[in-house]
Amino acid sequence: AQTVTQSQPEMSVQEAETVTLSCTYDTSESDYYLFWYKQPPSRQMILVIRQEAYKQQNATENRFSVNFQKAAKSFSLKISDSQLGDAAMYFCACRGNNNDMRFGAGTRLTVKP
Amino acid sequence: GAVVSQHPSRVICKSGTSVKIECRSLDFQATTMFWYRQFPKQSLMLMATSNEGSKATYEQGVEKDKFLINHASLTLSTLTVTSAHPEDSSFYICSAPKPGLADNEQFFGPGTRLTVL
């Protein structure tokens, strides 16, 4: 099974600024997917961005982008032009061939106006 | 996108009773569904994989006799917490991968908050 580590329990960013959330993972599988999910107070899991491990190009979704370093097993999330609505828990996740998804401990992001 | 629902959204029960939580895929068929548990301020922990037509696969440390899973149809999986105790109080979330999508993207239900008194 995969393991995912998020070493930042809390992060804070000023509105309109950029913040990077860190994530490292470990897996024995050669084919896997990496994800960042956002969990607002409603607790609904919202997919932010995904990365296929076989793709070298970093995924981007509007203000969200990742820095995928496969050799280092690192998968950080960069949020540009932070908005108040970005405040939430962010979970990094790794999914293997069995579709079972493992999550990191999460990072609570605060956006200051 | 796709929609996964859970029922009930909240449940309060007395210690020793059993509680059933339903997870439905509303607009697609799911041969596999996943059940997670999330304690306050913690991450989602995979409890088990629900398989339509066969037994569920439980993660290490999860008691299969306590957390009964039944994948009754291609759109419904149920999790029954038997003889619930206060330590079972948690947020339970299910997810289902939608077949046909490039990476079998998973869709999450809104969760069920269980409180055992």
For residue A2, give both structure tokens.
């995969």
Which one is predicted more confidently, B102 or A111?
Answer: A111
Query: Of B44, B49, B103, which has the smallest distance from its Cβ to A103's Cβ?
Result: B44
Cα separation, A46 vs A36, in Å, equals 9
Q: Is B57 helix (H, G, I), strand (E, B) or coil?
A: strand
Shortest CA distance from B48: residue in chain A: A100
A-chain residues within 8 Å CB-CB of B49?
A: 98-100
Predicted pLDDT at B14: 96
A64-69 vs A74-79, strand pairing mode? antiparallel
Predicted pLDDT at A105: 96
A44/B44 touch (CB, cutoff 8 Å), yes or no: no
Long-range contacts formed by B59-68: CB under 8 A, 24+ apart: B67/B35
The whole-angstrom distance between B93's CA and the closest CA on chain A is 9
Residues comprising chain B, all counted: 117
Q: Give the number of other CB atoms < 10 A from CB of residue B115.
A: 14
Predicted confidence (pLDDT) per residue in B26-62, tens digit: 999 999 999 999 998 899 999 999 999 889 999 999 9
A77: CB partners within 8 A, 6+ apart = A20, A21, A23, A36, A48, A49, A64, A65, A66, A90, A92
Q: Which of B108, B113, B114 to mutate to test the interface with A (most CBs of A within 10 A)?
A: B108
Is B58 in CB contact (< 8 Å) with chain A? no
A81: CB partners within 8 A, 6+ apart = A16, A17, A18, A63
Q: Which of A7, A98, A100, A102 to mutate to test the interface with B (most CBs of B within 10 A)?
A: A100
The whole-angstrom distance between A18's CA and the closest CA on chain B is 24
Shortest CA distance from A1: residue in chain B: B59
**Residue B64 DSSP class:** T
Predicted confidence (pLDDT) per residue in A54-89, tens digit: 988 999 999 999 999 999 999 999 999 999 999 999
